[in-house]
Structure 1
Amino acid sequence: MILFTYFKKYLKYINYFLINFRIRSIMTFITSFSITFFLTPIFINYFHKKKISQIIRKDGPITHFIKKKTPTMGGIIILLSIFTSVIIWSDLSNKYVLYILFITFLYSIIGFMDDFYKIILKNSIGLSPYKKLFLQSIANIFFLLFITINNKKEQYINIIVPFTHKIIKYNLNIILYIIICYFILITVSNSVNLTDGLDGLAIMPIIFISLGLAVLSYFTGNIYFSKYFNFIYIKNSTELIIICLSIVGSGLAFLWYNTYPAKIFMGDVGSLSLGCIISIIAIFIKQEFLFIIMCGIFITESISVFIQLVKFKYNKKRFFLMAPLHHHYELQGISEPCIIIRFWIISLILILFTFMIM
């Protein structure tokens, strides 16, 4: 009888530990950070032995050829730590959590195939852009159809009027809503992929954006804060903070090894998947407008590639010395660490600006 009483007492503490959201948030960060921090060196050594390394663009900056022996596909560890920490510490009955784990898994397969083809074929292309876009489109359309059919009341887009307290809410039909969400997913995921061309360039903005989304998730999931900031209240969206903090934890640990000079790259399996996760979170909390501002660095990189292609097809001349934009600055003679830090600063400013216009 005494043992049973003690057991009930300790079970109460354990339940409190698991239910308390703050504790779960902290433990998510610690778990994801620890997994990535301790597994990455093992991963680096293993890939060195197997001679699985980054394939460098032949037309890229000359300074990048010294990176050809650097291991890639570090995104596998990032995703492993995110999935593990989320499964352990999140509420798996929450539909948003399950949706995100599902679409991230699909994107990780596409990214892995792309990296695998690069390594096997020994070229920097991997899957052709059309094949990659086709696979992403299938995954996106299937996923978006599923969530819209099962969540018919959530097919709307919020547009926040800057520096005012006005939010314009557009109720959309299924097709238009899917098209908008599709372009957000495709654009951001591929933009992160394009940005991941210098050591640590993409992962730090991902961390900043994840922290920003964590704050927005808290505001939208709290009935009092959502009313104060004039957000649409979305029940149970605070659980998305767990996912955001798992990205922050794994991202910071990965940056330890990915910072200049990088000992490992995340590869497409990491960049495509992370771009997908943050996009889906923004869609779920109905903050697509603010999210686009947060992703200013990624969007700018994509625009630079688009401008370069259009300009070259029009008159066979280049607008930039090289695209994406970070390569243009490299060829201008700016050092790689300088470009990286400046892009980080701009990314942080964009996050702060996002909260200003709220």
Structure 2
Amino acid sequence: MLYYLFEYFDKTLNIPGTGVFQYITFRSALAIILSLLISTVFGKRIITFLANQQVGETVRELGLKGQAQKAGTPTMGGLIIILATLIPVLLLTKLNNIYIILLIVTTLWMGTIGFVDDYIKIFKKDKEGLKGIFKVFGQVGLGLIVGSVLYLHPGVVLRKETPKTIALNQTENVISQAAIEEKSTATTIPFLKNNEFDYAELLSWMGDGYENWAWIVFIPIVIFIITAVSNGANLTDGIDGLAAGTSAISVLALGIFTFVSGNIIFSSYLNIMYIPNSGEMTVFIAAFVGSLIGFLWYNSYPASVFMGDTGSLTIGGIIAVLAISVRKELLIPLLCGIFLVENFSVVLQVSYFKFTKKRFGEGRRIFLMSPLHHHYQKKGYHESKIVTRFWIVGILLAILSIVTLKLR
């Protein structure tokens, strides 16, 4: 909203200085500051409100040290993340940008699913919350919307080959527009020199015109990624500060990818896809990172509030949509390695338990407990140490992901 107001001041009234709102970097800086202020200053009020409503966490007895003391801690803290993200986004972004629209829809959609789940757990006293099948339906529904929009919307285009020549004159840099923007389901394969792959090629066996059927592959892939990442974030939210901290690291790395992919000069220099209009997502990412860091003010050990499914499902959904939009979804196993390992530890534990029970008559376990962070708690590590080390691993994975821009 402020973007359009200052655009009016600049282009119609010619007020000096108001043109600064045209710059993504300036609006991103404002977004992260505003989201930090909202999440830290107003976060305390939200936590107090949740406590007054007796929105307290019910802690299962898992035999973990310090777990019992967390009973009654306010949950649904994901509301802080959602509000601290959306308010700066509504004020500072171009609201007609299709990528921003998709991210707003994702935030509200996944936030609603998580809120319903938390509401059932707390107020209906049902520890299982929203049944898994309904969560999956919600995730699949969002994936269907996102995949369809990215495939069909005329504003979602890219340039696989960015122009190499930049002509200079006295007033500005003029970039050749010889490269053509086109609809495509191409994505980026990390670590390879010729690192572009079009999902449509999976249907090349169909003969001429196979490109017209690319949605058969593309949309299910989008659905799978959104479902997997949102569930991965949900499983990672188990100890104070773990999900919020590791997510902030991953999102910050995605912010770098988004900025360079949406800037024709940087994408040309790095020889990567140029995705027109995607740079606007940088403002959303800045607000999202600010909200996550601000949330950590209250969620770090010992936590004053838990994000609940309201936050964790939203975080996973946003990360997935960001990665898909900027054509870096194949980097998710590396960039979100913490989510992957947490998810995989549960799958391994359950599968091995069922296999050994069928084979030997009794179930056996690989880990002392899953997800993986609980395994280390069982081994006697303090949760602050576990969280810090997971953050360090997350930083290393983020750096390695960023290096893929030139490491091929």
- TM-score (norm: length of structure 2): 0.82
Q: Deviations over 1:50-81 (max 9, x none)?
A: 22111223446253121011101111111011
TM-superposed deviation, 1:122: 2.5
Any conservation in 2 of the 1:56–1:124 contact (CA below 8 Å)? no
Using the alignment, how far apart are the partners of 1:108 and 1:33 within structure 2? Answer: 19
Q: Which residue of 2 aligns with 1:234?
A: 275
Q: Which residue of 2 aligns with 1:295?
A: 336
Using the alignment, how far apart are the partners of 1:73 and 1:298 within structure 2? Answer: 21
Q: Say whether 1:327 aligns with 2:357.
A: no
Bigger proportion of residues as helix: 1
Q: From 5, 29, 33, give the equivalent of 1:30.
A: 33
Q: Say whether 1:93 aligns with 2:93.
A: no
TM-superposed deviation, 1:12: 2.1
Q: Say whether 1:310 aligns with 2:351.
A: yes
Q: Which residue of 2 aligns with 1:3?
A: none
Q: 1:278 is aligned with what amino acid?
A: I
For the residue of structure 1 that corresponds to 2:223, the secondary structure is helix
Q: Deviations over 1:226-275 (max 9, x none)?
A: 12222111011111100110011111111011100000011111111111
285-294 vs 268-277, greater mean Cα deviation:
285-294
Any conservation in 2 of the 1:165–1:230 contact (CA below 8 Å)? no
Q: Deviations over 1:137-194 (max 9, x none)?
A: 223223422432225813223212x2x5331322421011111111111111110110
Structure 1 residues 148, 328: closer, same or farther in 2, change over 3 A?
Answer: same
Provide the aligned C-alpha RMSD in A: 2.0
Q: Which stretches of structure 1, 4 residues or longer, exceed 3 Å deviation after superposition?
A: 6-11
Using the alignment, how far apart are the partners of 2:198 and 2:314 within structure 1? Answer: 28
For the residue of structure 2 that corresponds to 1:169, the secondary structure is strand
Any conservation in 1 of the 2:345–2:370 contact (CA below 8 Å)? yes
Q: Which residue of 2 aligns with 1:158?
A: 188
Q: 1:23 is aligned with what amino acid?
A: F
Q: Which residue of 1 aligns with 2:136?
A: 133
Any conservation in 1 of the 2:79–2:311 contact (CA below 8 Å)? yes
For the residue of structure 1 that corresponds to 2:304, the secondary structure is coil
Q: Say whether 1:75 aligns with 2:74.
A: no
For the residue of structure 2 that corresponds to 1:212, the secondary structure is helix
TM-superposed deviation, 1:7: 11
217-226 vs 255-264, greater mean Cα deviation:
217-226
Using the alignment, how far apart are the partners of 2:20 and 2:402 within structure 1? Answer: 32
Q: From 243, 261, 270, give the equivalent of 2:302.
A: 261
For the residue of structure 1 that corresponds to 2:16, the secondary structure is helix
Q: Say whether 1:347 aligns with 2:394.
A: yes
Q: Say whether 1:209 aligns with 2:250.
A: yes
222-231 vs 341-350, greater mean Cα deviation:
222-231
Using the alignment, how far apart are the partners of 2:126 and 2:390 within structure 1? Answer: 28
For the residue of structure 2 that corresponds to 1:137, the secondary structure is helix
290-299 vs 300-309, greater mean Cα deviation:
290-299
Q: 2:34 is aligned with what amino acid?
A: T
For the residue of structure 2 that corresponds to 1:13, the secondary structure is coil
Any conservation in 2 of the 1:167–1:230 contact (CA below 8 Å)? no
Any conservation in 1 of the 2:61–2:67 contact (CA below 8 Å)? no
Structure having the higher Rg? 2
TM-superposed deviation, 1:290: 2.2
How many residue pairs match? The answer is 351
Q: Which residue of 1 aligns with 2:196?
A: 168
207-216 vs 145-154, greater mean Cα deviation:
145-154
Q: Which residue of 2 aligns with 1:105?
A: 108
Any conservation in 1 of the 2:56–2:74 contact (CA below 8 Å)? yes
Q: 1:190 is aligned with what amino acid?
A: N
Any conservation in 1 of the 2:222–2:324 contact (CA below 8 Å)? yes
Q: Deviations over 1:197-222 (max 9, x none)?
A: 00000111111111111110111111
Using the alignment, how far apart are the partners of 1:346 and 1:265 within structure 2? Answer: 23
Q: Deviations over 1:256-301 (max 9, x none)?
A: 1110000001111111111111111111110112233110001100
TM-superposed deviation, 1:18: 2.3
122-131 vs 239-248, greater mean Cα deviation:
122-131
- TM-score (norm: length of structure 1): 0.93
Using the alignment, how far apart are the partners of 2:49 and 2:289 within structure 1? Answer: 25
**Unaligned residue ranges in structure 1 (runs of 5+):** 1-5
Any conservation in 2 of the 1:55–1:123 contact (CA below 8 Å)? no
Using the alignment, how far apart are the partners of 1:167 and 1:7 within structure 2? Answer: 41
**Unaligned residue ranges in structure 2 (runs of 5+):** 1-8, 157-182, 201-213, 357-362
Identity %: 35
Q: Say whether 1:195 aligns with 2:236.
A: yes
